[in-house]
Amino acid sequence: MTAAHRWWTVGVVVVLLIASPVLVRALPVADEDVSASALFSRLEDSRGESFAGYVETDGTVSLPENEALSSLGDLLGETNRMRVWWSGPDTWRVASLRTTGETDLVHRGEQMIRWVYESKRATLIPDVPVRLPNASDLLPHQLVRLALAGVEASELSRLPAKRVAGRSALGLRLTPRDEQAGIGRVDVYVDRDTGVPLQVEMFAAGSRSPSLTSRYLDFSPGAQPLGVVSFDPPPDAQRRFDDVVDLAAAADRFAAREPPPSLAGLPARGASASSSGGASFGGSVGVYGRGPTVLLAVPLWSRSADQVRKSLQNQPRVQTIDQGILVEAAPLRLLLAEPEHNGTSWLLAGTVTSKALTDAAEELTENRPSLSGLP
């Protein structure tokens, strides 16, 4: 073989290597004659599947700067990349990859460790009934199961299949019917072989572009070795315990309030309804709605409410209305209600309409909920 032939051969190989991913994506995807309800059942049955993968999320939800809500802004308004090792709902590991470094969430049983490589800080976090979202909640299979919880068969329809992460994925669309819904539709693509959701797109009501997309760029089904999903902090690690977690978890645990059984026409969310008829997970935060329509009612102490109110004032997308301070970042909206006589305020937030938030604030003002024996 001449030198020219050898270089020609090398060139062909290089071109094929570069083109292979494009060619795979271009291959036709065989759809399957399965109803929307049957595909939903297949998705539900995949909860016990194990797999590993690489996830990318893209969000356009632009929240104003606020220290208490900064984690939401990072998750919903930026691009996030995560490596995932999933053995099941109780045992998993998610590594968030950023230019500033890597942060891992390692979950096993009823506890989670947050490990920050750069600072060598390991924080033990207990599972709490209510908290703000973290990186693991944006994984496609996690996000989809929240979005489809409590949906009705009439709200589901099929979409054409497509290729996601090099795999055949069957399409499913949810179109919520609740008048309080801030999300117009949710498009889901389910792995044909395992039933695991590989991609989800959430569209604000009236929008043609997704507000949040989460998708696997690489997906490998199969059992995960215990060593991959476990973690032991090194001897020189800084070890901490965080029993507060975040603003919502602290309010749920310590605020002396009992949320009502329904709010703004939305019922207590699924299993969150307490035996006493309230709408919390056993604490003071109310959780309402179904599917992608979620409303949280978080009681804030006067000091916390004042800090949030001060940081929100005079920022873009923030309005002062009769009921309080309203933040519009469709499909997410927040309302910090006017203070009560003791200075406490309700922080109302969720994927609902502005009217749902103002209705909720007025209901809470008219019928101030509290725990028995407390003012």
What the chain holds in terms of domains, given with CATH numbers, is 36-229 (2.50.20.10), 247-366 (3.30.200)
Does residue 349 register a pLDDT over 80? yes
Instruction: Please report, as a single letter, which amino acid is at residue 112.
Output: M
pTM of the model: 0.87
pLDDT interval class at 20 (50, 70, 90): very low
Residue 173 pairs in a beta bridge with 157, 187
Does residue 271 register a pLDDT over 50? no
Instruction: Write the Ramachandran bin of 279: left for phi over 0, alpha for psi from -120 to 50, otherwise beta.
Output: alpha
Question: Environment class of residue 84 by beta-carbon count within 10 Å: exposed (0-12), middle (13-18) or buried (19+)?
Answer: buried
Q: Tell me what percent of the residues of the chain surpass a pLDDT of 70.
A: 87
pLDDT interval class at 363 (50, 70, 90): very high
In SS3 terms, 55-98 reads as: EEEEECCCCCCCHHHHHHHHHHCCEEEEEEEEEECCEEEEEEEE
Task: Look at residue 7 in the predicted model and tell me its pLDDT.
Answer: 52
Shortest CA distance to 129 belongs to which of 245, 211, 223?
245
Q: What is the maximal distance between C-alpha atoms in the chain? A: 93
Per-position b or e across 3-16, b if 16+ CB within 10 A of its CB: eeeeeeeeeeeeee
3-state secondary structure of 45: helix
Structure-block tokens of residue 202 = 């959430």
> Which residues are CB-neighbours of 336 under 8 A, at least 6 positions away?
300, 305, 308, 309, 312, 324, 325, 345, 346, 347, 348
Taking the C-alpha atoms of residue 238 and residue 230, their distance in angstroms, rounded to an integer, is 18
Query: For 47-57, how does the pLDDT look when each residue is reduced to its tens digit (9 = 90+)?
Result: 999 999 999 99
Question: Environment class of residue 347 by beta-carbon count within 10 Å: exposed (0-12), middle (13-18) or buried (19+)?
Answer: buried
pLDDT interval class at 314 (50, 70, 90): confident
Do 339 and 361 form a contact (C-beta atoms < 8 A)? no
